[in-house]
């Protein structure tokens, strides 16, 4: 039994390495895709306004030619070196192995390749292996693998860009509700729904109280949605433990960055990665263990 369980976990780990390679693409490209979408929407709005002005002034509509835009999504163009534009061949894109073989450098221009790429692949592989080892032969393991992959991607995207894309947070929320219906999370549907509602409303209230008191925005709407998603996966009872753990992680990392002069301009740190860290803690140890860790 243990041998079979170990083989399944190992296979899940290999799958996780492959998914981790794809997550690297998502982490890098999804924010840029959103920026392009927003830029296109702004351009369309400006063109419409210009056309309306022209029509009002001359009685004719302005003819505005749209410039062709090169496709840019999660599939195209193919991965390239950001330094020299070298197209990465398939054998240069094998998770972890290729980075080690290339010694962390582009095969063409020898520009360094960030160590984060293999670390994300290894982390995803380890998370997948853990889920399958913890829940052998269960469809629930696949659900938790998806949860872990989405949470890892959100944490790194938010850390890089202070964005928590709806393209991930909202499917993660709905997946939590569906997982509750399927019995994969051990949380009743009612508790999952109230967890989602409580997660969103609680941070929404904190946001507005802080804004009314200071005139500043302390967090973004993506944080509300991520906390709602965690509430859907773990139930409303887990909201207090998760927010406590996120706050503790945030304080520790924030102080470390301050002492090392690592804070960004304005002295802010995105909250999403700390929520994600608390979500992983709840996944590994359970929400009750968080309360015990903070002495409650």
- pLDDT tens digit sequence for 138-178: 889 999 999 999 999 999 999 999 999 999 999 999 999 99
- Alpha-carbon 168 to chain mean position: 7
Q: What residues does each domain of the chain span?
A: 1-78+117-137, 138-296
Cα angle for residues 274, 157, 232 (degrees, 5° grid): 55
Q: What is the mean pLDDT of residues 104-114?
A: 90
What's residue 289's pLDDT? 81
52: Cα separation from own chain's centroid: 40
Q: How confident is the model over 113-122, as a mean pLDDT?
A: 95
Q: What is the pLDDT of residue 3?
A: 73
d(CA 289, CA 176): 21
Report the largest interatomic distance among the alpha carbons of the chain, rounded to a whole angstrom.
81
In angstroms, what CA-CA distances link 232 with 41, 163, 183? Answer: 32, 21, 13
Banded model confidence at residue 264, pLDDT cuts 50, 70, 90: low
Q: Which residues pair with 112 in a beta bridge?
A: 105
The answer to whether residue 184 scores a pLDDT higher than 90 is: yes
Give the pLDDT confidence score for residue 296 in this predicted structure. Answer: 62
pLDDT value of residue 83: 82
Tell me how far apart the alpha carbons of residues 126 and 130 are, in angstroms, rounded to a whole number: 6
pLDDT > 90: percent of the chain: 58
Which residues neighbour 223 within 8 Å (Cβ) at sequence distance 6 or greater? 164, 203, 271, 272, 275
Q: In sequence order, what are the residues at sequence separation of 6 or more whose Cβ sits closer than 8 angstroms to the Cβ of residue 33? A: 72, 73, 74
For residue 234, pLDDT beyond 50? yes
Cα distances (Å, whole numbers) of residue 139 to 67, 74, 95: 47, 27, 25
Mean pLDDT of the chain: 88
Model pTM above 0.75:
yes
Q: 3-state DSSP call for residue 80?
A: strand
Predicted confidence at residue 63, as pLDDT, reads: 45
> Which of 111, 87, 93, 84 lies closest to 22 in space, CA to CA?
93
Helix (H) or strand (E) holding 139: helix 139-161
CA-wise closest residue to 130 among 273, 12, 276, 234 = 12
More confident residue, 141 or 215: 141
Give the residue-averaged pLDDT of 57-74: 61
CA distance 112 to 103: 9
Query: What is the rounded distance in angstroms from the CA atom of residue 110 to the CA atom of residue 103?
Result: 9
Does residue 93 contact residue 45 with C-beta atoms inside 8 Å?
no
Report for 5-9, 60-64, 117-121: range of highest mean pLDDT: 117-121
pLDDT classification of 209: cutoffs 50, 70, 90: very high
């Amino acid at each position: 039994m243990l041998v079979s369980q170990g083989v399944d976990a190992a296979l899940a780990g290999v799958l996780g390495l492959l998914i981790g390679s794809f997550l690297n693409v998502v982490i890098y490209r999804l924010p840029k895709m959103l920026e392009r979408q927003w830029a296109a929407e702004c351009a369309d709005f400006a063109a419409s306004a210009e056309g309306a002005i022209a029509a009002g002034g001359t009685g004719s509509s302005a003819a505005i030619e749209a410039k062709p835009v090169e496709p840019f999504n999660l599939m195209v163009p193919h991965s390239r070196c950001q330094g020299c534009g070298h197209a990465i061949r398939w054998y240069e894109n094998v998770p972890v192995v290729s980075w080690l073989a290339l010694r962390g450098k582009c095969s063409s221009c020898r520009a360094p390749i960030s160590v984060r790429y293999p670390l994300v692949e290894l982390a995803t592989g380890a998370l997948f292996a853990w889920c399958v080892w913890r829940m052998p032969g269960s469809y629930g393991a696949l659900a938790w693998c998806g949860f872990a992959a989405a949470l890892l991607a959100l944490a790194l995207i938010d850390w890089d860009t202070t964005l928590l894309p709806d393209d991930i947070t909202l499917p993660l929320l709905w997946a939590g509700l569906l997982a509750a219906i399927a019995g994969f999370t051990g949380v009743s549907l009612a508790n999952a729904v109230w967890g989602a509602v409580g997660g969103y409303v609680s941070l929404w209230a904190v946001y507005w109280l802080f804004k009314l008191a200071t005139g500043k925005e302390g967090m973004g709407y993506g944080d509300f949605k991520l906390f709602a998603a965690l509430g859907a996966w773990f139930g409303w009872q887990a909201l207090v433990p998760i927010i406590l753990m996120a706050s503790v992680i945030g304080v520790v990392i924030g102080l470390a960055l301050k002492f090392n002069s690592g804070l960004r301009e304005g002295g802010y740190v995105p909250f999403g990665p700390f929520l994600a860290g608390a979500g992983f803690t709840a996944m590994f140890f359970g929400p009750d263990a968080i309360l015990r860790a903070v002495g409650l």
